[in-house]
Amino acid sequence: MTDSEIKKIGIIGGGQLAWMMGNPAQKLGLKLIIQTPNIADPAVSIAPDPILAPIDDPAATAKLANYCDTITFENEFINLEGLRELAAKGICFRPSLEALAPLLDKYEQRLYLEKIGIPQPQFTTWAGEIKKEKITDTQLSNQYLNQNKLDFPIVIKARRHGYDGQGTFIIKDSDSLEKTWQKLGQNPLLVEEFIPFERELAVVAARGVTGEVVVYPVVETQQEEQVCRRVLVPAEISLKLVEKINAIAKTILTSLEVVGIFGIELFLTSNGKVLVNEISPRTHNSGHFTIDACQTSQFENHLRAVAGLPLGNTTLNCQGAIMVNLLGYETSQNDYIEKREKLANLPETFVHWYGKTESRRGRKLGHVTVRCDFQERNKLNAIAKNIESIWYS
C-alpha cells in the first residue's frame, strides 16, 4: 500500500488526545478507529466503532489492524514486545516501534539522548539503599564519572507509565528516597540532578515520511504540583535560544526517523542553558494552543505525517496566545456548563471540553485558548489568572 492510499488510521488510546484528532481527520478525509478500554472514553464520540480492550493488549491491536491501513498512538503505555510480533507480520505503525523503543523507559530515554549529544540533567538509575546524603561518583552512570556529585535535593521518576506528574518526586534526603522507592514497589528508578530552572519550556515538532521536519513556536509551560496549568505562546526568549531548541527538536526527530508528532519538554537555567527534561512520543498538552492559534494544529500535522501527506504550516495566526488547562478540583459528576459558558463569552476565547463524565482533583477536563494581539508575558499571565478565577471559583 502506498501512502496516498492511507485513508483509515487506527489509534491505540481513546482519551482527549485521540478525541482532538477528530476534526482534522474529517477535514483530511480520514477515518479513525480506536482501541480503548472504556466506551465512555472521549474519542469514542469521534470514532464510534471502537475496539474495546486495554491499550496494551496486542491481540486487540491485531484486530484493530484488520480495519485500518496504519496504526498510531495516543499515549506511550503500550506493550512494545507484543506489538513487535505484529510489526513482523507486516502491520504498519507510525511512529515506528524502532522510534518508540528508546523512549518508553525514562532511563533508556536519557541514555539515548546522551548518545546523540542532547544537553540534559545528570542522571543514573537506582534500585537500592543510598548511604549518606548524596549520590557518590561511583554510583553514577559511567558517563558522569569524575564529574560533580549529585547532592540532594534530587528528582526521581518511575521509569515507565508516569504522566501528569505521577511517578515524579523531588526528594530532599535519603530517608525520603527509601520511602518513595518502597511506595513505587521497589522497582528501578531514574534518578536525576535537581535543576533550579528559571522557566520550563516546550516545543512540539512533526516529521513526515519524506524526512521533512516542521517545528511549532517554542512555548513556556507553567506547572503546579507537577501538572501543566498554563502555556504561554510564544516563550519570551531570545532568537538564539529558539534556534537552539529548534535544532534540538530536529536532531531528535531525525535521529529516530520519527513519523508523527513529538512533544519535547525543556528546562531553561538561570545562566541561559537549555536542558531536555522529557520527550513524549505523541501529541502533547503543550501544543493544544495550535488548534486555535496556528495555521495547522498539532493534531492535523500528526495525521498528515501518519497518512503520508505534506506537513502543514506551523506559524501562529495571531501575535500570541495563552492556553489554560481546566483541571478537576473536586470529586463530582458536574459538567460545569455555566462556567464553560462564561469562559466562552470572553473575547477571542475557545473552550475545549473533553466530555469526561467524572471530575477529580488534577484530572484534565478541558482547556481554554485565548488568542491575543500581544506577546507580553505579564499580560498573558493576567489573562490566565482571570480564566482560573472563573474556573476555580
Average pLDDT across the chain, whole number: 92
For the domain 122-193, what is the CATH code? 3.30.1490
Region 129-154 average pLDDT: 48
pLDDT (0 to 100) of residue 177:
83
Q: What average pLDDT score do residues 313-339 get?
A: 97
The pLDDT of residue 178 is 82
What pLDDT, in 10s, does the model give residues 3-25?
A: 668 999 999 999 999 999 999 99
Average pLDDT in the 369-378 region?
98
Q: What is the per-residue pLDDT for 3?
A: 67
Confidence of residue 174 (pLDDT cuts 50, 70, 90): confident
Instruction: Write the pLDDT tens digit of every residue in 71-102.
Output: 999 999 999 999 999 999 999 999 999 999 99
CATH architecture of the domain covering 199-391: 2-Layer Sandwich (3.30)
| pLDDT at residue 270 greater than cutoff 50 | yes
Per cent of the chain over pLDDT 70 is 92
User: What tens digit of pLDDT does each residue of 45-68 get?
Assistant: 999 899 999 999 999 999 999 999
Predicted confidence (pLDDT) per residue in 217-268, tens digit: 999 999 998 899 999 999 999 999 999 999 999 999 999 999 999 999 999 9
The CATH number of the structural domain formed by 3-93 is 3.40.50.20
Q: Concatenated DSSP letters for 197-215?
A: -SEEEEEEEEE-TTS-EEE
Per-residue pLDDT band for 133 (boundaries 50, 70, 90) equals very low
User: What is the band of 36 on the pLDDT scale with cuts at 50, 70, 90?
Assistant: very high
Say if residue 139's pLDDT is above 80: no
What is the pLDDT averaged over residues 25-36? Answer: 98
Q: How many residues does the chain have?
A: 393
Residue owning grid cell 517545528: 215
Question: What is the DSSP code string of 223-291?
Answer: EETTEEEEEEES-S--HHHHHHHHHHHHHHHHHHT--EEEEEEEEE-TTS-EEEEEEESS--GGGTTHH
Domains in the chain: boundaries: 3-93, 122-193, 199-391
CB 221 within 8 A of CB 267: no
| pLDDT for 165 | 59
**pLDDT over 90 (residue 131):** no
Domain 122-193 matches domain 199-391 at the CATH topology level: no
Per DSSP (E only), the strands in the chain are 8-12, 31-36, 51-52, 70-73, 123-126, 134-135, 150-151, 154-158, 168-171, 189-193, 199-207, 213-215, 219-224, 227-233, 260-268, 274-280, 320-327, 349-353, 364-372
Instruction: Return the half-sphere exposure (C-beta side, CA atoms, 13 A cut-off) of residue 346.
Output: 20
